[in-house]
Amino acid sequence: MKLSIFGTGYVGLVTGACMAEVGHSVVCIDVDRSKIDKLKAGAIPIWEPGLEPIVTRNVAEGRLRFTIDVEEAVKHADVQFIAVGTPPDEDGSADLQYVLAVAVSGNRAAFLPTSSAGGDRIEADWLRSVASTALG
């Protein structure tokens, strides 16, 4: 299956690498150009024991690539994973602004971020409104 992972941090990079390792074709996308440049140069920007050989092998075998290009990631994917950060809001709840900023255009989306109680309902409402806009 063709997958895109939005957010190439601890969760997104590990998810993307493991999905590629089991045979999926994965594009990892991030807004942080320096992070993507490092990954393209073969460096792993996070500390995660055992991750480097998995990333290296799957990049070499063509199942894993990195980009900052949203259109490339959207076009690639049967399923898009959202793995951006959810920092604590002023009241301690998860701030969903980065999750909601990730566009899903017509494809199915899976959410990995931590969210507070009710966050899943907000995301579901948002997805419904995106889908109804896309479908007219």
Ligand X SMILES: NC(=O)c1ccc[n+]([C@@H]2O[C@H](COP(=O)([O-])OP(=O)(O)OC[C@H]3O[C@@H](n4cnc5c(N)ncnc54)[C@H](O)[C@@H]3O)[C@@H](O)[C@H]2O)c1
Are 17 and 27 a contacting pair, CB within 8 Å? no
User: Which range in 16-24, 54-62, 80-88, 117-125 contacts ligand X by CB under 6 A?
Assistant: 80-88
C-alpha gyration radius of the chain: 15
9 lies in the binding site for ligand X (CB under 6 A): yes
Query: What distances in angstroms separate CA 54 from CA 21, 57, 59, 79, 123, one per listed residue?
Result: 7, 5, 9, 21, 31
| Among residues 101, 110, 131, 134, the one that binds ligand X under rule CB under 6 A | 101
User: Which range in 19-27, 54-62, 82-90, 128-136 contacts ligand X by CB under 6 A?
Assistant: 82-90
Helices (H) and strands (E) in the chain, counts: 6, 5
CB of 24 or CB of 119, closer to ligand X: 119
Mapped onto helix, strand or coil, the DSSP state of residue 30 is: coil
Region 12-51 residues binding ligand X, contact defined as CB under 6 A: 12, 29-32, 35
| Among residues 18, 112, 122, 127, the one that binds ligand X under rule CB under 6 A | 112
Are 80 and 74 a contacting pair, CB within 8 Å? yes
Residues that bind ligand X (CB under 6 A): 6-12, 29-32, 35, 83-86, 98, 101-102, 112-114
